[in-house]
Amino acid sequence: MKTKKSMMSAAIVQNAVKESFLKLDPRVMMRNPIMFVVEIGFIITLLLILVPDLFGGTVSRGYNLVVTLVLLFTLLFANFAEALAEGRGKAQADTLKKTKQDIKANKVTGNNSVKQVSSSELRKGDIVVVAQGEVIPGDGEVIEGLASVDESAITGESAPVIKEAGGDFSSVTGGTRVVSDQIKVRITSDPGESFLDRMISLVEGAKRQKTPNEIALNTVLTSLTLIFLFVVVTLPFFGNYLNVSLEIPILIALLVCLIPTTIGGLLSAIGIAGMDRVTQFNVLAMSGKAVEAAGDINTVILDKTGTITYGNRMASEFIPAGGHQLAEVAEWAAISSLKDETPEGRSVLALMKKQSLTYNEGLGDNAEFIEFKAETRMSGMDLKDGRYVRKGAVDAVKKWVQSQGGTIPSDLDEGSTRIAKAGGTPLAVAVDNEIYGLIYLKDTVKPGMKERFEQMRQMGIKTIMCTGDNPLTAATIALEAGVDDFIAESKPEDKIAVIRREQAEGKLVAMTGDGTNDAPALAQADVGIAMNSGTVAAKEAANMVDLDSDPSKIIEVVAIGKQLLMTRGALTTFSIANDIAKYFAIIPAMFMVAIPQMDTLNIMRLGSPSSAILSALIFNAIIIPLLIPLAMKGVGYKPMSSPQLLKRNLFIYGLGGVLVPFLGIKLIDLVVHLWV
Ligand SMILES: Nc1ncnc2c1ncn2[C@@H]1O[C@H](COP(=O)(O)OP(=O)(O)OP(=O)(O)O)[C@@H](O)[C@H]1O
Ligand SMILES: [K+]
Ligand SMILES: [Mg+2]
């Protein structure tokens, strides 16, 4: 796991300071009702500096001035927290914007000639040619050729990746560079809607929406604020009755101390920082909601080929069956693959070359190509002499042959079992009702999967591998990767069915996948993570894209999601406990002159009513910057059950929230008392 982006730089801090002032704009503040109340209080005390008898009565000018300043700093601190959280994303967005300059594109026009246009003129469906050394002008799908592409501008990973027509490695991203060979690309996005555009607006938080959890919490906090507003507004009447005169600045200070400004000031920073932590792990989350959902995931569904394995399945051996010759099965395998542009199909022709095997190419003339489909799990050719040639998943080819009255060679299963037990994928090759043998497709499990899935088990997450492959291969890979369960021979709709089944049991489900056949399932899952190596369809259906194409990255996303929820909960607890403590610090001090019995409650022995309130207000302001590091980093997370976590946090942040202000306010009062 790499965290390559720089942490807080001086530039980010500087910019955040500037932003803290700009964010004082009431139109901006209004989005945060709690801090908006503070701002109104600030404006009133500011007016009182200018016109001291604005509301009749007199106000001690020095005291009012200090209250005004402390209120201003409370606002600035809260704004600074948010600006700081936004800072890293904004800096990253600036870097990405540099990648997104206008470049020249070689567009293929009607009569197959090439015309130079600007990348901003490209529309969905346009075809461009990109040669060695050139930057790919827009998102698209490779429709011809194979090239290695440097995607470091987007993924930060310097090793080039292979992109090729057909199959799951065909998607290319605008702004990345072709380092060898040449490809023809069909553009799949209109200007302004590219992956890079989305990535920029994501990291800079332009489209950030409050999550349902955040909205709910905000509602509770706003209600609390309204209750305290009512309490404070009615307080002067009691004061009158007791012959205690309560000046406006005192009332405003009291109100601000009592409303949940700590969490109100840090809430949005917590959310932004959480999203930012996900980005630092090279995962692009399209919504905060998805990140929070990840925190509660029970089940993870993983696709096999291209997700758990590298997915570059290569033909490595032809195995004849039913008394046929090697040359025969090889020839039909080649004929069935003549127009099969998937990596599997092309690897068959590559193996022919490598083994210097020949075949009658003429058989392919005027033949009809039967494209590979996840539904049929076969591909091939209908020859002009009437023969049908197929290769595909063994069970699918068997059924196809049997439906034409053919028989299955007795040694076929022996061969396919050998391949599957080694974790490979066997493809059967047949012509009409006759099976000629097998193709051995090899694939490799990505390293480190077993340890990572074990970690998920400890987090209480069940892993299920869902694959279109046969049960034996699936079992071998499942064992090697260490998933809890697997489902073989699954079609796209089966993957959705598994997700729906888990969801019906009340579980939150994450799905990771890379193929077009995974897209519906990625959309159905609560958290859908597409591999960046995957197809455009997969990336569009998912609500997260993993730029490193590492399926076990879900662990980090889950941890960050949990941390985000916990941090918000902990700071809310702390904030409200704080306000309760402040209540007991201020109220006895305020009324002890009028009601001497209050003195027993005045355990803190604060200097005077006005110094008590000012001290509490100062504490209320400085607690915000003190908690910024916690809001940004998140509270520590160790895998344990949710009730345990809740108990632990209530204890630490609830008790801490009551004790810390007593101590802090007392200390501040020792100084303030000298002056007030
Ligand atoms: N080009 C092809 N021609 C014929 N059969 C193929 C081809 N590619 C794959 N198959 C067969 O079809 C099966 C299903 O392929 P599909 O791509 O739907 O799933 P998969 O890649 O095996 O699994 P996963 O869903 O884990 O990615 C494969 O296991 C293989 O047997
Ligand atoms: K407060
Ligand atoms: Mg796949």
For residue range 81-126, list pLDDT tens digits in order: 999 999 988 888 888 888 777 889 999 987 888 999 999 899 999 9
The dihedral region occupied by 596, where left means phi > 0, alpha psi between -120 and 50, and beta the remainder, is: alpha
Rounded distance from Cα 37 to ligand 2 centre (Å): 11
Measured from the alpha carbon of residue 521, the closest ligand is 1
Could you tell me which residues are beta bridge partners of residue 141? 171, 186
The Cα 516–Cα 637 span in angstroms is: 35
618-653: pLDDT as tens digits: 999 999 999 999 999 998 877 666 677 778 888 899
Q: How far is the CA of 568 from the centre of ligand 2 (A)?
A: 16
Is the pLDDT reported for residue 58 higher than 80? Answer: no
Pocket flag, ligand 1, residue 535 (CB < 6 Å): no
Token pair listed for 514: 């890379």
Ligand 1: atom nearest CA of 467 is 26
Q: What is the ipTM of this complex?
A: 0.94
User: Could you say which DSSP state residue 124 is in?
Assistant: T
Segment 489-538, tens digit of pLDDT: 988 889 999 999 999 999 999 999 988 888 999 999 999 999 998 888 89
What's the pLDDT tens digit per position in 247-282? 889 899 999 999 999 999 999 999 999 999 998 899
C-alpha of residue 511 to centroid of ligand 3, in Å: 12
Q: Answer whether 140 contacts ligand 1 (Cβ < 6 A).
A: no
**What mean pLDDT do residues 429-452 have?**
94
Q: What is the 3-state secondary structure (H, E, C) of 623-645?
A: HHHHHHHHHHHCCCCCCCCHHHH
Higher pLDDT pick, 158 / 361: 361
Sign of CA pseudo-dihedral 545, 490, 430, 415:
positive
Catalytic hit among 303, 443, 579, 669:
303
CB 310 within 8 A of CB 443: yes
258 within ligand 1 shell (Cβ under 6 A) = no
Q: How far apart are CA 375 and CA 397, in angstroms?
A: 13
Residue 276 CB–ligand 1 contact under 6 Å: no
* Closest approach atom of ligand 1 to CA 427: 31
Q: Which helix (H) or strand (E) holds 130?
A: strand 127-130
Nearest-ligand number for the alpha carbon of 35: 2
pTM of the complete model: 0.81
Q: Which two tokens stand for residue 348?
A: 């068959």
Pairing label, strands 140-150, 177-180: antiparallel
Phi first, then psi: give them for residue 134, nearest 5 degrees.
Answer: -90, 155
SS3 594: coil
* C-beta 374 within 6 A of ligand 1: yes
| Token digits of residue 73 | 């700093």
